[in-house]
Structure 1
Amino acid sequence: MQRTISPAKHWIVIVLTSVLGCGLLIQGGYMQAKAHFAQFLIERAFEKTLVDNQPHKPWSWADTHPVAKMRVLQQQTDGLQPLGSDLYVLAGASGRNLAFGPGLMLGGAALGDQGHMIIAGHRDSHFMRLQYVKVGDIIELYSTAGERVLYQITATQVVHETDIEVLAPTPDSHLTLITCYPFDQLSGNAEYRYIVEAKPLEAKPLYS
């Protein structure tokens, strides 16, 4: 015999499902608000550093600080246009730092120094845009010293995670952006890395 759900139980199920759904929406909204507020604090810390040339933590318990502002520029019919919003690069590419923005690998060169500068980011957030870049696009970096440096993308490639040659030191100035690959596979333990290589074009003062 087929059992039927009483009207009272039916309404209980509806209420519980609604409460659960509202809870998930609130949690998602909270996480989004938290992420946006974190970006505001990081931006404010970067602007403070521009003023006094001292590193500033975005929040008191942070173990990092912003070291550069970055944007990707693509050639459009009306000139160069940014691909997405500005990104703030944090010192160090630890998992905790990458949750809030791309991270500068401390084993490589710093912005403005000779050598290989490496910036890592998550494929499902800040570096999702890398899937749309192409050779010839421009990467614009603003240092905390008020210097604007332009890099032009020279190559993109996919490598296995064991291929550390792409991170090797270089005698000349070189920029590498790195994220997990493929972009549409968001599960953990990705075996491949998407590499964007760029060479410097010029350096200009931020304020003139």
Structure 2
Amino acid sequence: MALSRAMRRYGWLPVLLFGVILFGRGVYMQAKAHFAQFLIQAAWQQTLRDQRPHKPWHWADTYPVAKLSVPLMSAGTDAVIRVKDMYVLAGASGRNLAFGPALVLSGARVGEAGNTIIAGHRDTHFGILQEVRQGQPLWLQTADGRELAYSVVSTRVVHESDGRFMARDGEDRLTLITCYPFDALTGGAELRFIVEAVPRISSLREP
């Protein structure tokens, strides 16, 4: 009887503990992803100086291949509030995606003809994609310092089995991919949020 009363009284504790663990894990993942970007940025600066790949830390099996710049636009206008810069790693493995957006190696390389595909997690770096809208600019900086300008032509939600957006060939374009919905509390999403962008007529980066 006493045990039954104790279970009724404190039965909420496992649920609370589980919630704390999930919250702590989420905070840890975000902190790790954002701190890693500082190390990746330093490696990218070295790459810009000598056009050679540099690992962000000695045990890394990847290196930055581009800098992706996504502007946040003011609602109802074309005014840029601020620009979020993210450093893109080579190879969209689970390990690399924990540290930042990553280039899908089955697609075109940065600056190469075809479909350049970059994937990222919805709860860290690519959460910003939910604010991207048609017509806005995106920029990719290459290892030789060039600024490639793109214009968003569509945003859409597709099933993970839809491989149309993963094709390497076709017209030159930039494809950004993350899981959907953005506010999901668990992994294993079957949907993907896709941002498609094509090269702008002017390659110059606008302020």
Structure 2 equivalent of residue 63 of structure 1? 61
Residue identity over aligned pairs, in percent, reads 55
Say whether the 8 Å CA contact 1:156–1:194 is kept in structure 2: yes
Aligned to 2:80: 80
Contact 1:66 1:88 in 2 (8 A): yes
Q: Secondary structure at 1:45's aligned position in 2?
A: helix
Are the aligned partners of 2:89 and 2:101 in contact in 1 as well (CA < 8 Å)? yes
Task: Give the direction of change, closer, same or farther, for the CA distance of 1:36–1:127 in structure 2 (3 Å limit).
Answer: closer
Deviation of the 1:104 alpha carbon: 0.4
Counterpart residue identity of residue 80, structure 1 = V
The answer for the alignment partner of 2:129 in structure 1 is 130
Instruction: Answer with 33-42 or 144-153: which moved more.
Output: 33-42
**In the TM superposition, what are the counterparts of 1:20-59 in structure 2 within 5 Å?**
34-59=32-57
For residue 160 of structure 1, what is the amino acid of its counterpart?
H
The number of residues matched between the two structures is 186
Distance in structure 1 (CA, Å) of the matches to 2:54 and 2:183:
35
Give the alignment's TM-score, normalised by structure 2: 0.79
TM-score (norm 1): 0.79
Whole-angstrom distance in 1 between the partners of 2:160 and 2:68: 25
CA distance in 1, matches of 2:79, 2:135: 13
Do the aligned residues in 2 keep the contact of 1:90 with 1:101 (CA within 8 Å)?
yes
Runs of 5+ consecutive residues of structure 2 not aligned to the other structure: 3-19
User: Are 1:145 and 2:144 matched, yes or no?
Assistant: yes
The one-letter amino acid of 1:163's match is D
SS of match in other structure, 2:47: helix
Q: Which has the larger radius of gyration?
A: 1
Describe how 1:52-201 pairs up with structure 2 within 5 A: 52-76=50-74, 79-83=79-83, 85-201=84-200
> Hey, what does 1:14 align to over in structure 2?
none
CA distance in 2, matches of 1:160, 1:92: 22
- Give a deviation string over 1:64-85, Cα, whole Å, max 9, x none: 00011111124446833435x3
Backbone CA RMSD of aligned residues? 2.7
Distance 1:203 1:66 in 2: 22
Deviation at 1:135, TM superposition (A): 0.3
Counterparts in 2 of 1:191 and 1:65: CA distance versus 1, 3 Å: same
